[in-house]
Structure 1
Amino acid sequence: MTEIDRTAGWAEAAVREHAAENAAASREEQVLERIDRARRRKARVKEEHITMAHGSGGKATQTLVEAVFLEAFRNPLLEPLEDGAVFGVGSSRLAFTTDSYVVSPLFFPGGDIGDLAVNGTVNDLAVCGARPLYLSAGFVLEEGFPVEDLRRVTASMARAADAAGVSVVTGDTKVVQRGKADGCYVNTAGVGLLDRPADLGVARARPGDAVVVSGPIGEHGVTIMLARGELDIEADLTSDTAPLNGLTAALLDASPTGVRCMRDATRGGVATILNEIARASGVAVVVDEDAVPVRPAVRGACELLGIDPLYVACEGRMVTVVAGPAAGTALAALRAHPLGEGAAVIGHVKDDPPGLVLLRTAFGGTRIVDVLVGDPLPRIC
């Protein structure tokens, strides 16, 4: 082979390699464009009847909220779709939220529907930057529900309220016929006072910010699944249900201007929260899989169930986005609190591709972390 032939062969190979790289890049751009087009479409519920997926916290829930509830009740306080509404009354700023609890089973390792109902509403107020003050409690009870179980639930609520520094000041009770409910459903609403100047929201993330979780994820969802006794899996796990208002206060005191947003990772898990942040802020969130704290028992159970821990609900963990320079201060503040000892920086905010969450896997690759259509663990809160 002559030198000319060798040169020509190298040039042809280089051209083919360049063409292949361009084709791959083109395919990636096409995928990203299709995702972007799909997300820009007006939300529309295609199903004629409500399914379990509509309560999962994933895509079906988002579509239901945007196409039905937001369409009906649209107003400036509701449109941000935060964990609570923030508004002014006179010279004060308040936060208001509500949530309903239908967990099955009612009693599980580490908690029950009672403390879950109090902690969940306290946490929704806390991640708005508010100091929770007062709660309401509404009960839907099924005919035949044991009074002793109701006493257990209310006693648990009282202990949780005392621990969080809030009071249950009003409520309601309804009883339905046997077979028309699942023992006991609880609704709690809450009011809190915003006495710090922080301006928080999922639309405030900026490139260069750090993404922090306050501790190991997935414990509540896996605990509930195992407590149902439907799977022959044993693990030493308890729910992480806990009030986060002390933790959020410590974080905001340590970094009053560095915190962009806080969200408690309940239905849909950390992955859903990150997608909400990426979409609302028009940024990319890049997560390092190895940096995500997951206890071995949770990881093992998730592997057996075929579930990604990023999608599993927590009830005492939050996702926080902080300005890059404030990351060290924020992490130290979280770790100094008993509920934040396992806090970790799991990723960073980038400018491209906007609206997407990317995971750098333990194998060195990168994949998109999207919002789930349904929920592998229904009735977890």
Structure 2
Amino acid sequence: MTAEQEERVLRRIERARRRKARMRDERITLAHGAGGKATQTLIEAVFLEAFDNPMLAPLEDQAVCPAGGARLAFTTDSYVVSPLFFPGGDIGDLAVNGTVNDLAVSGARPLYLSAGFILEEGFPVVELTRIAGSMARAARAAGVRIVTGDTKVVERGKADGLYVTTAGVGVLEHRFVLGAGQARPGDAVLVSGPVGDHGTTVMLARGDLGIESGLTSDTAALTPLVAALLDACGDGVRCLRDATRGGVATVLNEIARASEAAVVLEEAAVPVRAEVRGAAELLGIDPLYIACEGRMVVVVAAERADAALSALRAHPLGERAAVIGRMAPDPARLVLARTEFGGTRIVDVLIGDPLPRIC
């Protein structure tokens, strides 16, 4: 492809991305819950259209809400992972850590959670007790309290065992403004550790592939990593995102879109465990799209990149942190990956998720 042809393709992609989202599907599919393009369309064409307001419009993982003289971060999430128990965690600690992380990446100190349970008739009480204990331990480790909740029971066969919904509130104790729209050309892009551990672990735990592995989920609260990063880099931190559904690739696209800039990714710099890479190759999946539950993407001013890397690597959760790319002015709103073979490819958002029900 010539440079002129490539430019035409990029312009066509840009025009398509700027069109107002329209919901063309008549019924909801699994793709609409996978965190990719179908999810984005559903959110923008249905929910944002109905609920549009200044706190919702940025479409961050949480809303920042004024409350008197304070600023609060507020988030909610639902968990439908299958299986409920997997190496390294279960639906309980996943629900706590996921909500804590959505608060933490806004720079907030998480404080309180709610927990809602939809139980299926016949669900074993011993398993529910185990999950509740897991949630309690995760909450203590993250420094939060579960202070309210709700329980519903539905008929046998109507809830796949158990679904959990958690919401969380935290307080912002600094004046930094973090968000995908704050990234700018020249900034460094980092990831806090190996990508794809959680999604691959859950996939292997289903047993469909008959592969045994020592891999475990990376589910963990990111609060200490965020605190260390803000202490080290201050207002040099532009954006933090935990890379859950859709993986690092989807997060990078969200940052490029919100910032009106490009992300240029060095493919060889992205840390990926051998087990994850092997499973991904077997299934024909790019590890960049596989969900994490204890990793975050970080965008910092270029001059703070070394300080950010040192702060992350000083904590066990971030010991394999890496600089994986940079923000660039062009091509706006796109993510490009420089491959190990010297080429360049566009890293787009997938329609759905090749690994559904991983969170």
Does the alignment reach a TM-score above 0.5?
yes
Pick aligned residue for 1:144 from 96, 99, 122: 122
Q: What is the DSSP-based 3-state SS (H/G/I as helix, E as strand, rest coil) of the residue aligned with 2:190?
A: strand
Q: What is the DSSP-based 3-state SS (H/G/I as helix, E as strand, rest coil) of the residue aligned with 2:2?
A: helix
Matched, 1:53 2:31: yes
- CA distance in structure 1 between the aligned counterparts of 2:307 and 2:224, rounded to whole angstroms: 17
Q: What is the DSSP-based 3-state SS (H/G/I as helix, E as strand, rest coil) of the residue aligned with 1:353?
A: coil
Pick aligned residue for 1:182 from 160, 171, 180: 160
Pick aligned residue for 1:314 from 287, 292, 295: 292
Over the matched positions of the two proteins, sequence identity in percent amounts to 75
Matching residue of 2:45: 67
Matching residue of 1:235: 213
Deviation at 1:45, TM superposition (A): 1.2
- CA distance in structure 1 between the aligned counterparts of 2:207 and 2:2, rounded to whole angstroms: 47
Deviation at 1:223, TM superposition (A): 0.3
Where do 1:149-160 residues align within 5 Å? 149-160=127-138
Q: AA paired with 1:360?
A: R
Deviation at 1:291, TM superposition (A): 0.3
- CA distance in structure 2 between the aligned counterparts of 1:44 and 1:232, rounded to whole angstroms: 41
- CA distance in structure 2 between the aligned counterparts of 1:78 and 1:172, rounded to whole angstroms: 25
- CA distance in structure 2 between the aligned counterparts of 1:140 and 1:232, rounded to whole angstroms: 31
Where do 1:187-206 residues align within 5 Å? 187-206=165-184
Matching residue of 1:117: 95
Pick aligned residue for 1:258 from 227, 236, 240: 236
Aligned Cα RMSD in Å? 0.7
Q: AA paired with 2:299?
A: V
- CA distance in structure 2 between the aligned counterparts of 1:303 and 1:352, rounded to whole angstroms: 31
Note the alpha carbon deviations across 1:214-266, whole angstroms, 9 max, x for none.
00000000000000011122222000000001110110011111100000000
Matched, 1:336 2:342: no
Q: AA paired with 2:174?
A: R
Note the alpha carbon deviations across 1:308-345, whole angstroms, 9 max, x for none.
00000000000000000000111100111111111000
- CA distance in structure 2 between the aligned counterparts of 1:30 and 1:254, rounded to whole angstroms: 42
Select the structure of larger CA radius of gyration: 1
Matching residue of 2:267: 289
- CA distance in structure 1 between the aligned counterparts of 2:47 and 2:13, rounded to whole angstroms: 24
- CA distance in structure 2 between the aligned counterparts of 1:133 and 1:311, rounded to whole angstroms: 30
- Structure 1's unaligned 5+ residue stretches are 1-22
- Stretch moving more, 227-236 or 113-122: 227-236
Matching residue of 1:165: 143
- CA distance in structure 1 between the aligned counterparts of 2:15 and 2:177, rounded to whole angstroms: 30
- Structure 2's unaligned 5+ residue stretches are none
Note the alpha carbon deviations across 1:180-236, whole angstroms, 9 max, x for none.
111000000000010022110000111110000000000000000000011122222
- CA distance in structure 2 between the aligned counterparts of 1:59 and 1:196, rounded to whole angstroms: 34
- CA distance in structure 2 between the aligned counterparts of 1:210 and 1:234, rounded to whole angstroms: 37
Q: What is the DSSP-based 3-state SS (H/G/I as helix, E as strand, rest coil) of the residue aligned with 1:212?
A: strand
TM-score by length of 1: 0.93
Matching residue of 1:275: 253
Number of equivalent positions = 359
Deviation at 1:25, TM superposition (A): 2.0
TM-score by length of 2: 0.99
Q: What is the DSSP-based 3-state SS (H/G/I as helix, E as strand, rest coil) of the residue aligned with 1:320?
A: strand
Matching residue of 1:303: 281
Deviation at 1:144, TM superposition (A): 0.4
Pick aligned residue for 2:5 from 18, 24, 27: 27
- CA distance in structure 1 between the aligned counterparts of 2:210 and 2:281, rounded to whole angstroms: 14
Q: What is the DSSP-based 3-state SS (H/G/I as helix, E as strand, rest coil) of the residue aligned with 1:256?
A: helix
- CA distance in structure 2 between the aligned counterparts of 1:140 and 1:246, rounded to whole angstroms: 31
- CA distance in structure 1 between the aligned counterparts of 2:71 and 2:115, rounded to whole angstroms: 23
